[in-house]
């Protein structure tokens, strides 16, 4: 009997702005995820991909990507079974950089699952709600459990640059990752069927 390859989960740092917190939060999630043995976790930082505003002439549903940066991004996303989006809340929504990165692709997202880690002065709840709507159009299932970090409580210092997550968040991270792995495993069978 052959064993399936481990589930691959991308932890996507969803902001590219200077002074962002997404990369720090993504590394924290990764450090907690690495304690698990039911999946392989990797940080995918949008800042490393340098995606311009969408510049593909054909809509992504066609899968006819002709720009090298799009082809690289498509290969990256296609290699994962599940995602954890780390998103700030900007003006009651997610970051423009994350929305742009999502909009570049279509089939590479299909029949996969996503969990969320948000942050903002109001914990980023509205950014997550917007992402749920966007991802549903891309045939991405989303899990109920999420992690919501608050500026002023989980980030301290004069400009809120010190990340000091409350211990209680580890329970939420575990619950969210449990659901991501369960749904990711189930949806992999859908893609293989």
Q: Is residue 1 part of a domain?
A: no
**Please, which pLDDT band fits residue 44 given cuts at 50, 70 and 90?**
very high
Mean pLDDT score of the chain: 96
Q: Is residue 127 part of a domain?
A: yes
Q: Is residue 130 part of a domain?
A: yes
**Using one digit for the tens of pLDDT, what is the confidence trace for 141-179?**
999 999 999 999 999 988 898 999 999 999 999 999 999
**Using one digit for the tens of pLDDT, what is the confidence trace for 105-154?**
999 999 999 999 999 999 999 999 999 999 999 999 999 999 999 999 99
Q: Is residue 159 part of a domain?
A: yes
The alpha helices in 34-168, defined as continuous H runs, are: 68-78, 96-103, 125-137
**Using one digit for the tens of pLDDT, what is the confidence trace for 77-101?**
999 999 999 999 999 999 999 999 9
Question: What does the pLDDT read at residue 132?
Answer: 98
User: Which residues constitute the domain of residue 166?
Assistant: 8-192
Instruction: Kindly report the CATH number assigned to the domain that includes residue 179.
Output: 3.40.50.360
Q: Is residue 55 part of a domain?
A: yes
Q: Is residue 3 part of a domain?
A: no
Q: How far apart are CA 128 and CA 59, in angstroms?
A: 25
Ranges assigned E (strand) in 63-169: 82-88, 112-120, 140-150, 155-156, 162-163
Q: How far apart are CA 107 and CA 62, in angstroms?
A: 9
| Total tally of structural domains belonging to the chain | 1
């Amino acid at each position: 009997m052959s064993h399936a390859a481990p589930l691959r989960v991308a932890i996507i740092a969803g902001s590219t702005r200077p002074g962002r917190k997404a990369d720090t939060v993504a590394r924290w999630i990764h450090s907690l995820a690495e304690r698990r043995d039911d999946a392989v976790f990797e940080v995918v930082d949008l800042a490393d991909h340098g995606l311009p505003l969408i510049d593909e002439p054909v809509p992504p549903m066609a899968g006819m990507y002709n720009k090298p940066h799009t082809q690289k991004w498509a290969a990256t996303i296609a290699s994962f079974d599940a995602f954890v989006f780390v998103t700030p809340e900007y003006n009651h929504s997610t970051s423009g950089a994350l929305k742009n990165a999502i909009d570049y692709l279509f089939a590479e997202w299909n029949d996969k699952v996503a969990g969320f880690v948000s942050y903002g002065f109001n914990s980023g709840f509205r950014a997550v709600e917007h992402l749920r709507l966007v991802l549903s159009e891309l045939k991405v299932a989303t899990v109920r459990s999420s992690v919501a970090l608050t500026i002023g409580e989980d980030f301290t210092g004069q400009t809120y640059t010190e990340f000091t997550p409350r211990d209680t968040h580890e329970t939420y991270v575990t619950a969210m990752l449990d659901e991501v792995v369960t749904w990711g495993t189930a949806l992999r069978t859908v893609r293989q069927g």
